[in-house]
Amino acid sequence: MEFKMSLVVPMYNEIDNVDFFYERISEVLNKNNYDYEIICINDGSKDNTHARLKEIASTDHRIKVIDLSRNFGKEIAMSAGLKYSRGDIVIPIDADLQDPPELIPSMVEKWQEGYDVVYATRIKRDGETFIKKVTASFFYKFIRRITKIDIPADTGDFRLMSRQVVNAVNNLPESHRFMKGLFSWVGFKQTSISYLRDARFAGKTSFNYWKLWNFAIEGITSFSFAPLQLAMYLGFIVSIFALIRAFFLMINTLIYGNPVPGYPSLMVTVLFLGGVQLITIGIIGEYIGRVYGESKRRPLFLVRETINIDIEAQQQEKELYKL
Ligand code: UDP
Ligand code: MG
C-alpha cells in the first residue's frame, strides 16, 4: 500500500542532537523505503538549532522546517507540526532520540492491520531520576482515576496516528493543549507496543519539576472537574465534624458546666477552615484562569518562517487556521 508518512519533531535547544537525529531517523526510514516528510518545529531555540535545520533542509527537501516566533512549549510546537503535516500517518517524536525510530516499522504494521492509533509504552526509563519515575507513575495513576478518558500510563507523545485522528486533533479549538489527553480523547481504534526508553542522547531535559508540576495541573484541569468537586466534599466533611463537636460540647457543658472557653480548639478550627477555603478558592482560580485563557481566542502559535513547506499547503493553512 502506498502511503505518505509525516514525522513531527518539536525542537528546543537541540543543536547537539540535530545531526545525529537526522542520521538515525533517515537511516530507518530509507531502509524501509518510506515516502516521508520530517517536520521540524524550532520552538524558539536560543542556540543554532534553526540555522542547522536550515542547512539540512537545503540539501534534503523531505526536511521541512517551521520556525515559531518564540518558545511556545512542546505541546504547542507539536500542535503546529500536526497542522502542517500532510502524511496519511503522522508520528510525533522527540529530537533527543529518547523515542527509538526503529519502532516505526512495527507501528506501521499495526496501522496496516487496521488500527488508527498505535502508541508506544515504555517499559523502562533510562537516564531519569528515581523521583521523576515515581512522580510520573503517580501522575498517570492519579489522572486515570479522576478523568473519564483513558490516558495510557507510561506513554509519551511518541505514537502513530492516522490522518483521520490527526484531523480530529487539529480541529479541537482549545488553546490549553494537554496533547496526551487530547490524543486519547479523540478515541478511534487504539493499540500499543512496548519499548525501552533510552536516556537522552545529548543535552539536558528542559522539563524541571516546576514545569512538570504545571504540566500535571494542565492535564488534570483540562480533563476533570474532580478538583472543583473537592471543595464540596471538604465542606461536607468539615461540617459533619463541626456538628459532631458541637454536640459533644453541648453535652459537656450540660454535665460539667463551662469552665475556661477553649482557645486552642478555636484557633485550630479557624486555621483549618481558612486553609480549606484558600485551597478551594485556588482550585476555582485554576479553572477560571483557563476559561479566561480560552476566551482570549489568541492563535495557538505564530510562525516566523517556513522552509520546504509548499505554498499551496500554506495557503490552505491560512484559510483553515487563520494564521
Ligand atoms: N521541547 C520543545 N519546546 C520546549 C521544551 C521541549 O519543543 O519548550 C522539545 C524538545 O526539544 C524535545 C522534546 O520536546 O524534542 C522533549 O523534551 P525533553 O527531552 O526536554 O523532555 P523529556 O524527555 O525530559 O520529557
Ligand atoms: Mg527527552
Give the pLDDT confidence of 186-204 residue by residue, as tens digits.
888 888 887 776 666 666 7
Q: CA–CA separation, 113 vs 271, rounded Å? A: 60
Q: What is the mean pLDDT of residues 251-280?
A: 77
pLDDT, position 65 = 92
pLDDT at 66 over 70: yes
Query: What is the number of the ligand 1 atom nearest to the C-alpha of 41?
Result: 7
Residues 253 and 212 in one domain: no
Residues 160 and 217 in one domain: yes
Confidence band of 71 (pLDDT split at 50, 70, 90): very high
pLDDT at 276 over 70: yes
Higher pLDDT, 213 or 321: 213
Residues 150 and 271 in one domain: no
**323 and 317 in contact (C-beta within 8 Å)?**
yes
pLDDT, position 174 = 83
Whole domain around residue 256: which residue ranges? 226-295
Q: Name all residues whose Cβ lies below 6 A of ligand 1.
A: 10-12, 14, 43, 71, 73-74, 77, 94-96, 98, 200, 205-207
Confidence band of 317 (pLDDT split at 50, 70, 90): low
Model pLDDT for residues 20-62, shown as the tens digit of each residue: 899 889 988 888 888 899 999 999 899 889 998 988 888 888 8
Residues 99 and 234 in one domain: no
Residue 179's Cβ-side half-sphere holds a number of Cα atoms within 13 Å equal to: 22
Model pLDDT for residues 76-95, shown as the tens digit of each residue: 999 999 988 988 999 999 98
Q: What is the CATH number of the domain that holds 101?
A: 3.90.550.10
pLDDT, position 126 = 63
* Closest C-alpha among 210, 33, 101 to residue 91: 101
Q: CA–CA separation, 119 vs 189, rounded Å? A: 11
Residues 204 and 231 in one domain: no
Nearest CA to ligand 1 atom 20: 205
Residues 101 and 215 in one domain: yes
Distances (CA, A) of 179 to 95, 98, 151, 284, 316: 17, 18, 10, 23, 23
Number of structural domains in the chain = 2
Edge-to-edge strand ranges of the sheet holding 117-125: 190-197, 117-125, 155-162, 89-92, 4-11, 35-42, 63-68, 303-307
Ligand closest to 11 (CA) is 1
pLDDT, position 314 = 61
What is the 3-class SS of 205-240, one letter each residue? Answer: CCCCHHHHHHHHHHHHHHHCCHHHHHHHHHHHHHHH
The three grid cell numbers given for residue 56, joined into one nine-digit string: 539540512
Nearest CA to ligand 1 atom 13: 94
The reported pTM is: 0.70
Percent of the chain surpassing pLDDT 70: 89
Residues 110 and 135 in one domain: yes
Whole-number average pLDDT of the chain: 82
pLDDT, position 319 = 63
Which of 7, 66, 76, 96 should be mutated for ligand 1, with most atoms under 8 A from CB?
96
Residues 37 and 53 in one domain: yes
Query: What is the number of the ligand 1 atom nearest to the C-alpha of 12?
Result: 11
Residues 103 and 232 in one domain: no
Nearest CA to ligand 1 atom 5: 74
pLDDT at 215 over 90: no
Q: What is the mean pLDDT of residues 232-239?
A: 80
pLDDT at 226 over 80: no
pLDDT at 323 over 60: no
pLDDT, position 320 = 59
Residues 244 and 216 in one domain: no
Residues 88 and 217 in one domain: yes
Confidence band of 161 (pLDDT split at 50, 70, 90): very high
Model pLDDT for residues 100-147, shown as the tens digit of each residue: 888 889 899 889 999 999 988 877 666 667 777 788 777 777 777 777
pLDDT, position 269 = 79
Residues 170 and 220 in one domain: yes
pLDDT at 205 over 60: yes
